[in-house]
Amino acid sequence: MEQPAFEGMPRRLYPCTPTRLSTWLDCPRRYRMTYLDRPPAPKGPPWAHNSLGASVHNALAGWWRLERAQRTVTAAGDLLESGWINQGYADDTQSAQQRETARHMVERYVAGLDPAGEPLGVERTVGTRTERIVVTGRIDRLDERRRSDGDRALVVVDYKTGRRPLTTDDARTSMPLALYALAAGRMFHTECRLVELHHLPTATVHAWEHSAESLGRHLRRAESIAAECADADEHFQAGLLAGRVDTVFPPRPGPACGWCDYRASCPEGSATAAARRPWEGLAVAL
């Protein structure tokens, strides 16, 4: 890669989120369209599965913000309904069906919670830095639990609403969860190695307990990805991409292109995967 004009100067800490790093890994062109292009490329219509996911996340966050006495199962369902995001669905009938399904999902989940078990954080922003990166992100829920030896430990809880069933491997290999655990542990000066995916559609929890080494591996990987992003960003911002934009930010076409917000602006992606209808990602699509 051609060196940017300011090569040799000390590089600033690279600010990033786990989502930004994952986007680079998935497709550098999508990364450019998402984070660098100005004006930004036009995005496709909203996805119904994202609307459903946001509605569920908002309802669960709102439930924990209620007074303890108000944290009932019905209250969770009511929050889901009052905050329903009605975007991306085929029609009002499908939206209503999905709202009913989501209400059931949220109520079933909340029925298994202890309303008095106050989380340490809800939609809590955490961050940490190394010599190379500053990484920030938002944790759905940060629990504080007693370990078997009596010590306190923090647990990163991530709600999932997608239709794909999850496995323990999803928790183990998730770089975002590992980075959140590292950041939370450092911020609260408390051990945080356990990460959990709570998959509401299947009412299952997939947990993984990291070691210091496995957290370190995820962090080094994040630094390595961030270094690639920083290089690409610098070339973009220094205007060194004439005729080479697709070399630095190559498209990575594959089946996921059907779900890409920028598919309509991407010839390779459009040629690779048919456009998905906005509601096709729902667990039960029409």
Is 268 a binding residue for ligand SF4 by CB under 6 A? The answer is yes
CA distances 239 to 2, 31, 39, 99, 153, Å, are: 12, 17, 15, 47, 47
Beta strand extents in 84-212 (DSSP E only): 121-129, 133-146, 152-160, 192-199, 204-209
User: Nearest distance from residue 31's CB to ligand SF4, in Å?
Assistant: 9
Please, which residue, 128 or 272, has the CB nearer to ligand SF4? 272
Residues 7-36 that bind ligand SF4 (CB under 6 A): 27, 29-30
Say how many C-beta atoms besides its own lie within 10 A of residue 63's C-beta.
Answer: 24
For ligand SF4, the binding residue among 266, 278, 279, 282 (CB under 6 A) is 266
Say how many C-beta atoms besides its own lie within 10 A of residue 30's C-beta.
Answer: 23
Mode of pairing for the β-strands spanning 192-199 and 204-209 = antiparallel
Is 269 a binding residue for ligand SF4 by CB under 6 A? The answer is yes
Quick one: CA dihedral 15, 166, 124, 56, positive or negative?
A: positive
Applying CB under 6 A, what is the total number of residues that bind ligand SF4? 14
x/- letters, 223..262, toward ligand SF4 (CB under 6 A) = ----------------------------xxx--xx--x-x
Cα–Cα distance measured from residue 87 to residue 49, given in angstroms and rounded to the nearest whole number:
9
User: Nearest distance from residue 82's CB to ligand SF4, in Å?
Assistant: 34
Is 160 a binding residue for ligand SF4 by CB under 6 A? The answer is no
| C-beta separation of 12 from 134 below 8 A | no
User: Nearest distance from residue 100's CB to ligand SF4, in Å?
Assistant: 33
Is 263 a binding residue for ligand SF4 by CB under 6 A? The answer is yes
| C-beta separation of 254 from 247 below 8 A | no
Please, which residue, 78 or 261, has the CB nearer to ligand SF4? 261
List residues binding ligand SF4 (CB under 6 A). 27, 29-30, 251-253, 256-257, 260, 262-263, 266, 268-269
